[in-house]
């Protein structure tokens, strides 16, 4: 820790040298009754008009006031208009505050510096979520502004027990990380464990919430064990359940933990619709998941190894369609599935004006051309198209990637061992999922281990007035979310 020099000019020169005389390091040296007052700020992160109107004018006004305090430093500290005003006494804090949009004021004869917030508006306003479709519910989403993100949660949960613990991670970026939870609902052990894991991170910089995800996971898996969202209502629902949410400065995506497998089959709109409709929709999502993962593999198995399981008429129809196709069924499936995945990635990365045209060309032109050329059979196109459509029901990109990986694993298993391979790898898959655990919460909760009380909002969604308790696998603290009607 290096103490601040008592010469304002020395402080300015040292700070400019620290930044390599960068042109965005602005300063002003004002002489008040023989005492120099130095004003330092970064033009790239501070609002110059705010510095001029509130700090420079305020400094000149304080200097012209005959009724000064004991010294100019105390006068400025007590007369400048700003809600964020405090003092520091060492150089090591200069880079963080300057880069965060604060202005530093130093006075000859004082080893302290006054810090005032003058940050520029460098983030976008609150807009609708671009990655998560909103059918019903609030239309706002998180932004790159850390304080705005916390405010969007405070606006929804007006309980003083909504607590935020803050850390700074990254030797160079000094990124603010906020851990949000509701005191009295969230499990204290999980809070401490999350904070402990974050404090262990020693890295140059954190630029996105995805940079810290792996540090918060105990066991590695293809499927995500931490949910990411940019919707404040989703975060509010998670906090009220007793979960812990992590906010990362300059990132609109928050992290929710612990997360279980069934969470990816739920949506925020489930909270706002009739329970019967929600239950039916969840069953459809589960069927879509099964189709997405197993259909291509089953098709390969029954057409290559287990033809006796197919009715004779259907077998004859398949044989007629495959007449003239030079490649085995497994190659057809892998080829078309790979093409679709490439098309989907291109669709995601391309501008909106191009994505629709690319989808039409890929789905219609390439598929029809492949059939006409005799490279693939029509039934194979139908199987891959049906599988791909079912996969689009899931919006979380990490969950989709996990499904895609296991789909290819099952395709390879069916290509080599048929139905036996599918059954064998299904057992391996279930064992793998059941073995995953994060923050003492099983990934397959509330099914393994079975929690009867949590089944009211797993696959079946009970009416809102009948859901009295929070999920026990998240937190046993304060389990009652509403009183039972008399």
- Is 376 in contact with 325 (CB distance < 8 Å)? yes
Residue 356 has pLDDT above 70, yes or no: no
Question: Which SS3 state, helix, strand or coil, does residue 476 take?
Answer: coil
Residue spans of alpha helices (H) in 263-328:
275-304, 312-321
Q: Which residues pair with 229 in a beta bridge?
A: 254
Residue 350 has pLDDT above 70, yes or no: no
What are the residues whose beta carbons fall under 8 Å from the beta carbon of 416, sequence distance 6 or more?
none
- Is 139 in contact with 221 (CB distance < 8 Å)? no
Per-residue burial over 5-43, b if 16 or more Cβ lie within 10 Å, else e, is bebbeebbeebeeeeeeeeebbbbebebeebbbbbbbbe
Could you check whether the bond before residue 258 is cis, i.e. omega within 30 degrees of 0? yes
If you average pLDDT over residues 378-404, what whole number do you get?
A: 87
Q: Which residues pair with 85 in a beta bridge?
A: 116
Residue 190 has pLDDT above 60, yes or no: yes
Give the separation between CA 267 and CA 209, rounded to whole angstroms.
21
Q: What's the pLDDT at 253?
A: 92
Q: Where is 441: in which H helix or E strand?
A: strand 441-442
Residue 346 has pLDDT above 80, yes or no: no
Residue 133 CA neighbour count, 13 Å, CB half? 5
Q: What's the pLDDT at 370?
A: 72
Angle formed by the axes of helices 378-391 and 275-304, to 10°?
Answer: 150
Could you check whether the bond before residue 55 is cis, i.e. omega within 30 degrees of 0? no
E strands, 170-323, are 175-182, 227-229, 244-248, 254-257
Q: Where is 76: in which H helix or E strand?
A: helix 72-79
Q: Give the residue carrying structure tokens 């969470």.
A: 263
Q: CA angle, corner 19, sides to 15 and 25, nearest 5?
A: 75
Question: Which SS3 state, helix, strand or coil, does residue 365 take?
Answer: helix
User: For residue range 61-73, what is the model confidence (pLDDT) as tens digits?
Assistant: 776 665 555 578 8
User: For residue range 124-151, what is the model confidence (pLDDT) as tens digits?
Assistant: 777 777 777 777 778 888 988 888 899 9
Would you give the distance in Å from CA 166 to the centre of its chain?
Answer: 18
Which strand ranges, in their side-by-side order, compose the sheet holding 254-257?
162-169, 175-182, 244-248, 254-257, 227-229
Q: Phi and psi dihedrals of 272, rounded to 5?
A: -110, 0
Q: What's the pLDDT at 485?
A: 64
Residue 345 has pLDDT above 90, yes or no: no
3-state helix, strand, coil in the chain (%, to 5): 50, 15, 35
Residue 93 has pLDDT above 80, yes or no: yes
Q: Would you list the DSSP string of 156-177?
A: T---TTEEEEEEEE-TTT-EEE
Q: Report which DSSP code applies to 474.
A: T
If you average pLDDT over residues 344-370, what whole number do you get?
A: 64
pLDDT interval class at 55 (50, 70, 90) = confident
Question: Does the predicted TM-score (pTM) go above 0.95?
Answer: no
Other beta carbons less than 10 A from residue 460's beta carbon: 13
Q: What's the pLDDT at 352?
A: 59
Q: What's the pLDDT at 354?
A: 52
Question: Which SS3 state, helix, strand or coil, does residue 87 take?
Answer: strand
Q: How far is the first Cα of the chain from the last one, in angstroms, to the nearest whole number? A: 63
Residue 355 has pLDDT above 60, yes or no: no
Q: What's the pLDDT at 341?
A: 82
Q: What's the pLDDT at 351?
A: 63
Question: Which SS3 state, helix, strand or coil, does residue 101 take?
Answer: coil
Residue 18 has pLDDT above 80, yes or no: yes
Could you check whether the bond before residue 446 is cis, i.e. omega within 30 degrees of 0? yes
Identify which of 261, 279, 283, 242 has the alpha carbon closest to the alpha carbon of residue 471: 242
- Is 54 in contact with 81 (CB distance < 8 Å)? yes
If you average pLDDT over residues 115-119, what whole number do you get?
A: 88
Give the separation between CA 372 and CA 232, rounded to whole angstroms.
49
User: For residue range 283-327, what is the model confidence (pLDDT) as tens digits?
Assistant: 999 999 999 999 999 999 988 887 777 777 777 777 777 777 777
Average pLDDT in the chain = 85
Q: What's the pLDDT at 267?
A: 84
Give the separation between CA 454 and CA 474, rounded to whole angstroms.
10
Residue 486 has pLDDT above 60, yes or no: no
Residue 449 has pLDDT above 60, yes or no: yes
User: For residue range 418-439, what is the model confidence (pLDDT) as tens digits?
Assistant: 899 999 999 999 999 999 998 8
């Amino acid at each position: 820790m290096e103490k601040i020099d008592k010469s304002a000019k020395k402080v300015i020169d040292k700070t400019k040298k620290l930044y390599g005389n960068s042109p965005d390091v602005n300063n002003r040296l004002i002489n008040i009754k023989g005492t120099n007052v130095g004003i330092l700020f970064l033009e790239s992160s501070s609002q110059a008009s705010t510095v001029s109107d509130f700090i420079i004018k305020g400094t000149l006004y304080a200097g012209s006031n005959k009724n000064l305090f004991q010294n100019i430093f105390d006068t400025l500290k007590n007369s400048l208009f700003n809600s964020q005003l405090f003092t520091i006494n060492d150089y090591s804090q200069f880079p963080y505050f300057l880069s965060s949009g604060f202005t530093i004021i130093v006075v000859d004869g004082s080893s302290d510096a006054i810090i005032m917030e003058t940050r520029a508006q460098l983030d976008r306003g609150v807009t609708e979520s671009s990655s998560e479709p909103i059918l019903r519910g609030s239309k706002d989403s998180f932004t790159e502004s850390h304080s705005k993100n916390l405010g969007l949660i405070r606006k929804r949960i007006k309980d003083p027990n909504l607590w935020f613990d803050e850390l700074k991670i990254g030797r160079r970026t000094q990124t603010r990380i906020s851990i949000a939870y509701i005191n009295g609902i969230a499990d204290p052990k999980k809070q401490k464990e999350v904070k402990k894991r974050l404090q262990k991170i020693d890295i140059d910089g954190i630029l996105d919430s995805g940079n810290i995800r792996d540090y918060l996971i105990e066991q590695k898996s293809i499927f995500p064990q931490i949910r990411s969202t940019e919707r404040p209502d989703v975060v509010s629902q998670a906090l009220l359940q007793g979960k812990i949410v992590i906010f990362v400065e300059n990132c609109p995506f928050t992290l929710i933990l612990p997360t279980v497998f069934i969470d990816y089959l739920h949506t925020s709109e489930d909270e706002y619709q009739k329970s019967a409709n929600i239950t039916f929709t969840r069953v459809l999502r589960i069927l879509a998941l099964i189709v997405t993962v197993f259909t291509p593999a089953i098709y390969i198995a029954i057409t290559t190894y287990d033809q006796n399981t197919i009715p004779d008429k259907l077998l004859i129809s398949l044989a007629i369609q495959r007449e003239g196709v030079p490649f085995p069924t497994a190659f057809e499936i892998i080829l078309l599935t790979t093409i679709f995945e490439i098309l989907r990635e291109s669709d995601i990365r391309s501008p909106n004006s191009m994505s629709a045209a690319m989808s039409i060309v890929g789905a219609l032109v390439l598929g029809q051309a492949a059939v006409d050329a005799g490279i693939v059979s029509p039934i194979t196109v139908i199987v891959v198209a049906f599988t791909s459509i079912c996969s689009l029901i899931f919006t979380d990109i990490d969950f989709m990637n996990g499904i895609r990986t296991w789909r290819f694993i099952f395709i390879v298993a069916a290509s080599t061992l048929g139905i036996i391979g599918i059954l064998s790898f299904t057992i391996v898959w279930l064992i793998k999922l059941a073995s995953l655990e994060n923050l003492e919460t099983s990934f397959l909760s509330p099914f393994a281990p079975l929690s009867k009380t949590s089944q009211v909002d797993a696959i079946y969604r009970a009416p809102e007035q009948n859901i009295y308790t929070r999920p026990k696998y998240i937190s046993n603290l304060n389990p009652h979310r509403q009183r039972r009607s008399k």
